[in-house]
């Protein structure tokens, strides 16, 4: 095993990376700045892996073919009948598919997620956001997370997939189980509990897929069933795992991005004024919030397929490398005045949604979902004001806000 920190300066002596520390979530950026300068490639003993914090290194780990998402180069083939349902959903999920299957699935599904087609879906998210805010209590208090952001993404996905009204409640239970079951930090007891909800949910989804195959409708589920590339379509297992991925990756990140966008606009009233004067800046505001105040702590690790070096630090074959998006997106070598929130900033190098072969397939949908949510909230509550600081909870992978209280007018204006 190579020596770990002995190549770094004495400025790093005594430093311990602790993303679970009591105050880390509130403001992790001084820690990231220190690491970029003094420990850009850091051996994190607790996770038995490396942490890289500079933009170019994070981008390289995401896109270099010497890294894989599969530990040990990938699992040994196991017949489906010997796998648990959770393992089967994981096996056919995009993130863990072997390269050849991953490329095939993306070729088939990518046309459904192109900007022109996704933009035509805006009204679906608008309907969900308007309906959720229409039934709220009309008092002066409103919590961005508890009253809206924690529920809106799953409701949007339900509407997007065209889940029948009579099955929506069952799908919500299934969706909640999928979100928790695919959370990277879930413990074995919690996973066992959530597994009880997965079989009935998958059975329901299989019925819906059969219905759409026989009688396609104008919804994303039908489009996934009939999507093809050179005569190839998604298998049944891939379809089910694709829906599970849409739920797991399409609910938590948008929830946090909505919350952090509203928080930062209120924290920077001059930027909010710019947006109100020019609504075309909405996309820039959402992307800048994701860059400036990233909700992520650690993305899923990549594993080295061979011995290599990053900034003269030797990384051994098979070792895990964590690329920290939140640090990379504040790297002053890439973003001028990186610690300033500026909704007019160019977002050309913002890799909030990843980079390389595993960049987020649904990023255009996620952006649209969040833009509609933020725009609707600002339009509904034009006088919103902070009513307290955001409340964080301990989480291994997200800077997870569970409450963002606002004071709003009781006279909602709507869209």
**C-alpha to C-alpha distance for 177 and 165, rounded to whole angstroms:** 19
Q: Which pLDDT does position 262 carry in this prediction?
A: 98
3-class DSSP state of 208: helix
Calculate the CA 109 to chain-centre distance: 19
- Unique residue bearing structure tokens 């070792």: 319
Calculate the CA 355 to chain-centre distance: 13
Question: Domain residue spans in the chain?
Answer: 10-407
Residues 6+ apart with CB under 8 A from 135: none
CA distance from start to end of the chain: 60
Q: Which pLDDT does position 7 carry in this prediction?
A: 46
Q: Which of 19, 143, 141, 22 is nearest to 392 (CA)?
A: 22
Contacts of 22-25 spanning 24+ positions with Cβ under 8 A = 25/297, 25/392, 25/394, 25/395, 25/399, 25/400
**C-alpha to C-alpha distance for 206 and 217, rounded to whole angstroms:** 16
**What are the tokens at 196?**
């009880």
**What are the tokens at 96?**
């863990």
pTM of the model as a whole: 0.92
Q: Which pLDDT does position 415 carry in this prediction?
A: 53
Tens place of pLDDT per residue across the chain (415 aa): 334 555 444 356 689 999 988 889 999 999 999 999 999 999 999 999 999 999 999 999 999 999 998 887 555 678 888 888 878 888 888 888 888 899 999 999 999 999 888 888 999 999 999 999 998 767 789 999 999 999 999 999 999 999 999 999 999 999 988 888 776 666 667 667 767 778 899 999 999 999 999 999 999 999 999 999 999 999 999 999 999 989 988 898 999 999 999 999 999 999 999 999 999 999 999 999 999 999 988 888 999 999 999 999 999 999 999 999 999 999 999 999 999 999 999 999 999 888 877 788 889 999 999 999 999 999 999 999 999 999 999 888 889 999 999 999 855 555 5
**C-alpha to C-alpha distance for 28 and 33, rounded to whole angstroms:** 9
**What are the tokens at 250?**
């399409």
Q: Which pLDDT does position 187 carry in this prediction?
A: 66
Q: Which pLDDT does position 10 carry in this prediction?
A: 38
CATH 1.10.630.10 applies to domain 10-407 = yes
Give burial (CB, 10 Å; 0-12/13-18/19+) of 256.
buried
Q: What is the pLDDT of residues 224-275, one digit of tens each?
A: 999 999 999 999 999 999 999 899 888 989 999 999 999 999 999 999 999 9
């Amino acid at each position: 095993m190579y020596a770990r920190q002995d190549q770094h300066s004495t400025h790093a002596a005594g430093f311990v990376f602790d993303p679970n520390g009591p105050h880390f979530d509130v403001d992790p950026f001084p820690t990231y700045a220190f690491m970029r300068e003094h420990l850009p490639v850091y051996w994190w003993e607790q996770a038995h892996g490396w942490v890289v914090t500079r933009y170019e290194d994070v981008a390289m780990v995401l896109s270099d073919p010497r890294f894989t998402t599969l530990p040990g180069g990938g699992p040994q083939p196991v017949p489906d009948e010997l796998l648990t349902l959770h393992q089967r959903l994981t096996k056919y999920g995009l993130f863990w598919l072997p390269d050849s299957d991953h490329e095939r699935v993306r070729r088939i599904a990518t046309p459904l997620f192109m900007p022109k087609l996704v933009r035509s879906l805006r009204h679906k998210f608008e309907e969900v956001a308007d309906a959720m805010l229409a039934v709220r209590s009309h008092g002066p208090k409103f919590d961005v997370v508890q009253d809206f952001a924690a529920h809106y993404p799953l409701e949007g996905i339900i509407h997007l997939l065209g889940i029948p009204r009579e099955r929506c409640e069952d799908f919500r239970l299934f969706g909640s189980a999928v979100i928790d079951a695919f959370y990277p930090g879930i413990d074995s007891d919690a996973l066992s509990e959530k597994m009880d909800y997965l079989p009935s949910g998958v059975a329901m989804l299989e019925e819906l897929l059969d219905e759409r195959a026989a009688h396609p409708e104008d919804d994303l589920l039908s489009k996934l069933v009939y999507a093809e590339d050179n005569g190839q379509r998604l298998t049944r297992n891939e379809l089910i795992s694709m829906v599970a991925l849409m739920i797991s990756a399409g609910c938590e990140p948008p929830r946090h991005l909505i919350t952090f966008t509203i928080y930062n606009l209120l924290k920077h009233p001059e930027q909010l004024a710019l947006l109100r004067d020019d609504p075309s800046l909405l996309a820039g505001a959402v992307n800048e919030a994701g860059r400036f105040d990233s909700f992520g702590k650690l993305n899923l690790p990549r594993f080295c397929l061979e011995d290599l070096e990053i900034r003269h630090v030797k990384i051994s074959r098979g070792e895990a490398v964590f690329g920290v998006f939140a640090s990379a997106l504040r790297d002053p070598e890439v973003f001028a005045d990186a610690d300033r929130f500026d909704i007019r900033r160019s977002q050309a190098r913002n890799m909030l949604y990843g980079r390389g072969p595993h960049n987020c397939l649904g990023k255009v949908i996620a952006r649209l979902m969040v833009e509609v949510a933020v725009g609707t909230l600002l339009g509904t509550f034009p006088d919103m004001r902070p009513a307290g600081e955001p409340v964080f909870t301990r989480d291994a992978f997200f800077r997870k806000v569970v409450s963002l209280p606002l004071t709003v007018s009781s006279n909602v204006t709507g869209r």
